[in-house]
């Protein structure tokens, strides 16, 4: 069963998926195709939100949003795994995004997973968004009728 934070993340993104993917990717003309099943049978973890999107410049790809209460040193490996599993399952390139909610003191947040075994390298970049660094006024730039349950 998904954790309560997972359900609320899916709910918030589903209220305005186009705005959400535009914000996390910084691609202004991106459009959402559908929110996909992000459960991967090979591991007992469900990523937060996996969205099929399309942009004129990049074509069709996936946006993988992983929301974490606090960053841990395990996140780079996890982001690599989720991106690889999403690409394998849906046969599309993946734009992984890690959203961190709370700041963890004395922890360096890495935007890349890297390993090297006997000269064979694995590298996975992902976008990091630390919510404590985001201007809170951004949330109020758009109307919020879906969140407030009001009709305008």
Domain definitions of the chain by residue range? 4-148
* Percent of all residues in the chain with a pLDDT value above 90, rounded to a whole number: 51
Provide the pLDDT for residue 139: 60
Is residue 96 within 8 Å of residue 111, measured between CB atoms? no
Provide the pLDDT for residue 40: 52
pTM of the predicted model, to two decimals? 0.77
Give the containing element (helix H, strand E) for 147: helix 145-148
In this structure, what are the phi and psi dihedrals at residue 14, rounded to the nearest 5 degrees?
-70, -20
Of 13, 139, 28, 30, nearest to 66 (Cα)?
13
Is residue 83 within 8 Å of residue 50, measured between CB atoms? no
Q: Does residue 152 carry a pLDDT above 60?
A: no
Q: Does residue 82 carry a pLDDT above 70?
A: yes
Residues found in the chain = 152
Q: For the segment 60-77, what is each residue's pLDDT rounded down to a tens digit?
A: 999 999 989 999 999 999
Tell me the angle at which helices 4-15 and 17-25 cross, rounded to the nearest 10 degrees: 100
Alpha carbons 93 and 146: distance in angstroms, whole number: 31
CATH code 3.90.75 for 4-148: no
Provide the pLDDT for residue 136: 77
């Amino acid at each position: 069963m998904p954790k309560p934070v997972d359900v609320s993340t899916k709910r918030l993104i589903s209220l305005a998926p186009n705005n959400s993917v535009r914000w996390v990717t910084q691609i202004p003309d991106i459009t959402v195709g559908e929110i996909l099943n992000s459960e991967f049978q090979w591991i007992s973890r469900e990523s937060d939100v996996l969205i099929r999107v399309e942009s004129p410049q990049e074509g069709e790809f996936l946006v993988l949003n992983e929301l974490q209460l606090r960053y841990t040193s395990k996140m780079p490996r996890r982001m690599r795994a989720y991106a690889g599993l999403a690409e394998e399952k849906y046969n599309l390139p993946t734009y992984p995004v890690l959203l961190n909610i709370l700041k963890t003191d004395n922890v360096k947040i890495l935007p890349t997973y890297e390993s090297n075994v006997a000269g064979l390298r694995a590298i996975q970049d992902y976008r990091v968004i630390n919510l404590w660094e985001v201007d809170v006024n951004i949330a109020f730039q758009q109307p919020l009728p879906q969140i407030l349950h009001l009709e305008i």
